[in-house]
Amino acid sequence: MKGVSFISQTLIEYCFQRDKSTIGIKSVPFDEVWLKGKLDCFLQYWKGTRCAVGVDVEEAWKCNRCDFVDICEWRKTKQEECASRNKAKRKHEGIISTNKAQRK
């Protein structure tokens, strides 16, 4: 077909979290099926047919760039889960410390 372009590559830009500067750019093969799947997922959110999904905890730094950080239910839930785990861990460590002290 004359005049129809074919996309064969996608560029991925990696950015430094602290100052958002570019670390590098990688060219990868274009995957139309994967891209359409991602776009469909995003559109479901924006059309209100699915709930928001948070990032992996390791990528929570991205929340600082989000316009909804102050009202994000996912972030609030993760903070509560983390606080609960920390409280349980401190309680458990306190019991262990108390038991060790009693043995001496």
Kindly report, residue by residue over 19-51, the tens digit of the pLDDT: 989 999 999 998 889 889 999 999 999 999 998
| Pair 46, 59 in one domain | no
Contact 85, 79 (CB under 8 A): no
| Pair 39, 65 in one domain | no
| Contacts of the segment 91-98: beta carbons below 8 A, 24+ positions apart | none
> What gap in Å lies between CA 20 and CA 24, rounded to an integer?
12
| Pair 18, 36 in one domain | yes
| Pair 41, 68 in one domain | no
Q: What angle do CA 22, 24, 25 make, to 5 degrees?
A: 110
pLDDT at 102: 60
| Pair 17, 36 in one domain | yes
For residue range 62-78, list pLDDT tens digits in order.
888 888 889 988 888 88
| Pair 44, 64 in one domain | no
| Pair 46, 89 in one domain | no
For 88, the domain range is 54-104
